[in-house]
Structure 1
């Protein structure tokens, strides 16, 4: 009796069966949670499933805070406790600026300052062209904004159009879709409508306009006005990676010594690591338990996965694998001339295998490229081909 053209081995058959079941469960989890979509933004989450056995399986879900909140609602308590939620970087804020035409000059100063400070700004004179439908263009601006800003002056308070836009802005505020920011100019706080009496309404004053607009920009970007925390006593410290110092030190050794950032490159003895880091072997064992998704131990020797480099390169190298991976994914979707041969992709970017492989590991872990993993190759995947998840991933981060 043979199995895979070799004499039948119950252990090999059992291992393959367990691996197939494990992969099936991972695929189901990625399909289930990867299909959840934010109803307003259209964003899909990125789902990463780690673990070498069903008993050790862990789920990580990445996305905007709003999307992660929706994902949590679809989970039971046990699933939530077994999942790590990682908020993605905040997208570019989008402001809708409502104003009276009588205050056009000041409104333009505000709009230009916001744009110069990295805030996409809907301002009527930029967005509405001859022949456009006013209502449709305004609805588009309101529907996409993360911050509704209304310039409130004695003139604006008399304009029905400004009042209608404020109503729409308040609706988005109540729905949790946008922040509502009333900017006062020449108007006392006590003169605001009762509905706005409980909303902080900063004032913009011509005599200190630059400072007032700087505060507005900082508020939109979420920059605290609290003074920065002073430095504590000087001490040597490892990068803040979310892992222990010993685990981080182990990762740094592999990151700095690997030639191609592939599995088993390099291989280190537990004893050697303990001596190099100056800790006990028990400390090394504990640290490797932390790194169990990224490293394994066999006969006292430590072998790391390519995923370790996608996790730790950003702390010790000049590149960030996640950023590289996003660049590859975006080009796969948007550039019809993008090659699929991995070597050609690396040449396109001017990257050696040492830099390319961590980006590939990041993409493979998230099912963002087809798995063409091969042995005896400079790259962990011989081809770079997009999946349906690639499109959703890029769209959610554009």
Structure 2
């Protein structure tokens, strides 16, 4: 046994400690350096994800919008670029509708506006937008300029309205310039009663039961009426996950086997993975290497699954998406003063199982987007308490701005 200053000295433990310290130091450096980059127009901050447990197998992923990632790339040297991977994150922008109508059709227009607004469509309706002393023209111009969908309620009276026709002219020009979709809605009019420029367009008719409004909401949100694609005629198919079919098969095995989505919740011998995933030994070894940031292999033959695997793969085989769940959780922690901070209370509030809540917490924890407290007695949850901080607010703003 080696001795250092008269005390037992284990060289491997010493090297492991140095490796961990070096990994933590590099991770901290890049979190501080890149995590402070902010897009000047949107106020968005990047999300920095550190993958790997050693300096030799370390990966750094930067997440953000296309514009923000371009800004981050400008802040790093060409030599450093090879150390990073970049992942674009989608914004959750609500569609914006401009509703044009004639004064005689006000009650019907309000019904439409209420239905759209209540269905997650930010709706410009004159009585909501124009207040006492406002410039009517400027308010209308602003609504038209920012809309993604121009909706005009066409009735016998609105077709004769000067305001409606001027707004239709503006909406039609926006459509020609590919700045918005133009949607004519008919009420007690036949398609042949419409102006010639509108007769060639699909113009849904508002019916008494409101079915057309439901379809209108679906169309604006991009919900396709096309039936889902059937199963391919092969024995086993897997979704496109960005990983090899073998790695995807193993990920599905772990997702299906997990009870709580916690570290080491699933432990399998490598031979069991081979058998249950129906893969060759070589394919299994390559797939486990591909998934190495989500796993630990002990004594060369026991695979322990990290909780981060479920944040990546749950969306393919479970009824939830951990990223969407994480954003909801973070937003509630920031915005709701009555939001509980213990996982058990949060799970009860959302009516979620620990199996669903844990991946969302893990996603936020990996990005240091929340404050967490952990202990051995956390039960079926990955933490004992969770709370918001400045990083949580920046995370929510970056994903929803």
Matched, 1:325 2:359: no
Distance 1:358 1:173, change over 3 A: farther
Query: What is the alpha-carbon distance in structure 2 between the residues aligned to residue 191 and residue 249 of structure 1?
Result: 51
Q: State the secondary structure of the residue aligned to 1:268.
A: strand
Aligned to 1:262: 262
Query: What is the alpha-carbon distance in structure 2 between the residues aligned to residue 191 and residue 238 of structure 1?
Result: 45
Distance 1:264 1:6, change over 3 A: farther
Q: State the secondary structure of the residue aligned to 1:293.
A: helix
Distance 1:119 1:16, change over 3 A: closer
Unaligned runs of 5+ in 2: 187-192
Query: What is the alpha-carbon distance in structure 2 between the residues aligned to residue 262 and residue 223 of structure 1?
Result: 34
Quick check: 2:149–2:183 contact (8 Å CA) kept in 1?
Answer: no
How far has the Cα of 1:369 moved from its partner?
0.8
How many residues get paired? 378
Distance 1:142 1:389, change over 3 A: farther
Quick check: 1:37–1:44 contact (8 Å CA) kept in 2?
Answer: no
Query: What is the alpha-carbon distance in structure 2 between the residues aligned to residue 376 and residue 210 of structure 1?
Result: 53
Quick check: 2:60–2:85 contact (8 Å CA) kept in 1?
Answer: yes
Q: 1:11 aligns with which of 12, 15, 29?
A: 15
Answer with 8-17 or 288-297: which moved more: 8-17
Within a 5 Å distance, the mapping from 1:1-398 to structure 2 comes to: 7=9, 9=11, 10-28=14-32, 31-32=35-36, 35-36=38-39, 39=42, 46-52=47-53, 53=55, 56-62=58-64, 68-76=65-73, 82-88=85-91, 90-101=92-103, 107=109, 111=113, 114-115=116-117, 118-128=120-130, 131=132, 133-135=134-136, 138=140, 141-142=143-144, 145-150=147-152, 159=162, 163=166, 178-181=179-182, 183=184, 186-189=193-196, 202-203=202-203, 217=217, 219-223=219-223, 232-233=232-233, 235-300=235-300, 301-317=302-318, 319-342=320-343, 344-346=345-347, 349=350, 353-374=354-375, 377-378=378-379, 379-395=381-397, 396-397=399-400
How far has the Cα of 1:95 moved from its partner?
0.3
Quick check: 1:360–1:380 contact (8 Å CA) kept in 2?
Answer: yes
Quick check: 1:30–1:48 contact (8 Å CA) kept in 2?
Answer: no
Quick check: 1:295–1:302 contact (8 Å CA) kept in 2?
Answer: yes
Distance 1:150 1:73, change over 3 A: farther
Structure with greater contact order relative to length (CA < 8 Å, sep ≥ 6):
2
Distance 1:339 1:302, change over 3 A: same
Residues 89-130 of structure 1: CA distance to partner in whole angstroms, max 9, x if unpaired? x4431201234436657755754664576533222135446x
Could you tell me the TM-score, scaled by structure 1's length? Answer: 0.72
Q: State the secondary structure of the residue aligned to 1:264.
A: coil
How far has the Cα of 1:288 moved from its partner?
1.3
**How well do the aligned residues superpose, as a CA RMSD in angstroms?**
4.6
